[in-house]
Structure 1
Amino acid sequence: MAATKQSVKQTPDTEEEAKKVAKLRKRLGVARQVHAIADDPYLKVVELDALRGSITGALWFFLSVGLAYTTVGVQRFIAHGASITDPMWWGAWAVEPALAGMLITVLRWEAAMLIRGIRIESRWVSITKWALLLSTLVMNVLSSIGGAVVEVVLHIIFPALVFCLAEVMPVVQDRFGRARAKILAEIAAHLAAEEAAREADQAKDAPAVTTPALSPPVTVADFAEDFDRAPAPVSPALPPVAPRTPEPTPPAHLPRPKLPAPIAHAVESRAAELAAAGRSITAADVQALIALPAPMAEQAAKYYAAAHAPA
């Protein structure tokens, strides 16, 4: 009787604990789903692109603000002593926007090339940026000489900061491009591992292949009638068949690398260029294009080297 009363007293506590456990299990399931989604590499690519867009927009905005401030100094330097009725006074306002437009155009082109993994190795690009920024700095400093110390300092600091920002922007774009390529390489490696596991499972489940029965051998007597037959006349209306240049075909003895289409196209184009130059693509050439793991780079190099090997 006492045991029954004790069990009856513990029943409400047990039900409350069961409810708490059910709630915690539900929260744990939701947390696991959220973590799995947040850790998905495709979501990382989308978040990285969104972050790159916001940071790039902020950099362009502050660069425009700095160039707007330097416009005043350039106008005052060029239109020194001119009245507002003088056309030179109005034309001086267009000098700094023209210089800024040239600089922004060069920076946009440089950023677009770096995002696509193309290095800018021409020194004339750096010379152009330095010339545009130094011209702005010189005209701003000369326009503020004889004024207050604060004005001189501001006309030195703002062009210098604009110059630093112009040098930082291509670096930002390059690092974003590398981070995106790294995530895409992880996706390619994950897809390749899944495909290999799927093929292994299919090989285990595949039925045994039976050897077909051999047909009787063909002898010369089977073609006796064809030997006595005259050849068919050639029609004069048909043009001669031009020899066809064989195109590179994928090797049948090597598995095709599991790479995203843009990466595979880039590697295949590089392999074709190297084959035209007289050598085969290597794993180092593949890793120079895209940051792939060593085994995947070796597999891709072997496949595309065999595909573009001379006949």
Structure 2
Amino acid sequence: MTERTEGVAAAERPPAPPTRAERLAQDAAAAAEVRAHQTHPDVVALRVERVRAQVDRLCWTGIVLGLAFTMTNVQWFAAAGSTPWSLPWLAAWFLDPMVSLVLLAILRAEQVTARYQVPTGLWTRTAKWFTLAATYVMNTWASWADGSLSGVVLHSVPPLIVFVAAEAVTDLRDKLTEAVTVAFTDAAQRAVHERAPRRKAKGRKLFADYLAEAREAWTPGLVITPAWVRQATGCSRGLSSRLAAALSREEGQS
């Protein structure tokens, strides 16, 4: 067999299957790539964002269903024995949507303000409580007047659920927004630490180190803000919010 024939035969021969070590090396490379994407700060924050969206949808569904349940009772209260399909009877159907739409508008606004952790003020909470209280009174008035405890309980549950959910969802949004920031910051710090050379790991500044520097730089009467923390410690923008919150708690600032 000539050398040319041997070369053609070798070219046509199928490649040798990868060894166990080569397969393990390929699996390790693929796993490292997947983990790099899964632990990326934006991906971690996106997971928390998705949870926040699910919480919003569930709370909104419960609130809308609760308000829909109260509509008939409010109409009966407003109609006050009017003849069915008369003008007073028809007009009574507008009372519950009037109150509910104001409440939903307030909750929708708080959905945005809570996302950016902006306080809404006293009038907003007063309007929310007033609409919820009005819905509760109109739902349970007839049961109280008849002395029916079972009716009071039945017609109290939906308004109270709406009231509790309306209060709880605002706090949940605020905490979930904070969780997004913390998750992003922690993931970013972890990614930087993993990329840093091992010989420099001992010199990496920790959260406690930044907090100690900020504590030393702070003087009584100075308002603690993330911008001031960045100037005093040289930390990142994402970390400055956590440092400012921790130092404010220590010094009694809200």
Same fold (TM over 0.5): yes
1:33 is displaced (CA, Å) by 2.3
5 Å matches for 1:285-296?
A: 285-286=225-226, 295-296=234-235
5 Å matches for 1:1-311?
A: 20-120=20-120, 122-145=121-144, 146=146, 149-186=149-186, 284-286=224-226, 295-296=234-235
Deviations 1:148-202 (A, max 9, x none): 65433120111111100000111111112212223454577689999x99xxxxx
Cα distance in 2 between the residues matched to 1:297 and 1:43: 19
User: Conserved in 2, the CA contact under 8 Å of 1:63 and 1:165?
Assistant: yes
Evaluate the alpha carbon distance shift between residue 193 and residue 48 of structure 1 in structure 2; reply closer, same or farther with a 3 A threshold.
same
| TM superposition score normalised by structure 2 | 0.65
Evaluate the alpha carbon distance shift between residue 293 and residue 115 of structure 1 in structure 2; reply closer, same or farther with a 3 A threshold.
farther
Would you say how many aligned residue pairs link Structure 1 and Structure 2?
198
Cα distance in 1 between the residues matched to 2:185 and 2:233: 11
1:58 is displaced (CA, Å) by 1.6
Evaluate the alpha carbon distance shift between residue 297 and residue 42 of structure 1 in structure 2; reply closer, same or farther with a 3 A threshold.
closer
1:25 is displaced (CA, Å) by 4.1
Evaluate the alpha carbon distance shift between residue 294 and residue 158 of structure 1 in structure 2; reply closer, same or farther with a 3 A threshold.
farther
Amino acid at match of 2:87: P
Evaluate the alpha carbon distance shift between residue 113 and residue 54 of structure 1 in structure 2; reply closer, same or farther with a 3 A threshold.
same
* Structure 1 spans left out of the alignment, 5+ residues: 1-15, 198-281, 301-311
| TM superposition score normalised by structure 1 | 0.54
Amino acid at match of 2:51: L
User: Conserved in 1, the CA contact under 8 Å of 2:70 and 2:139?
Assistant: yes
Structure whose CA Rg is larger? 1
Evaluate the alpha carbon distance shift between residue 43 and residue 73 of structure 1 in structure 2; reply closer, same or farther with a 3 A threshold.
same
Cα distance in 2 between the residues matched to 1:82 and 1:27: 76
1:28 is displaced (CA, Å) by 3.4
1:27 is displaced (CA, Å) by 3.3
Cα distance in 2 between the residues matched to 1:89 and 1:156: 24
User: Conserved in 2, the CA contact under 8 Å of 1:71 and 1:97?
Assistant: yes
Q: Which has the bigger relative contact order, CA under 8 A and spacing at least 6? A: 2
Amino acid at match of 1:52: R
1:21 is displaced (CA, Å) by 4.8
The structure with the largest helix share of the pair is 2
Q: CA RMSD in A?
A: 3.8
User: Conserved in 2, the CA contact under 8 Å of 1:140 and 1:156?
Assistant: yes
Evaluate the alpha carbon distance shift between residue 289 and residue 81 of structure 1 in structure 2; reply closer, same or farther with a 3 A threshold.
farther
Q: Which moved more, 1:126-135 or 1:32-41?
A: 32-41
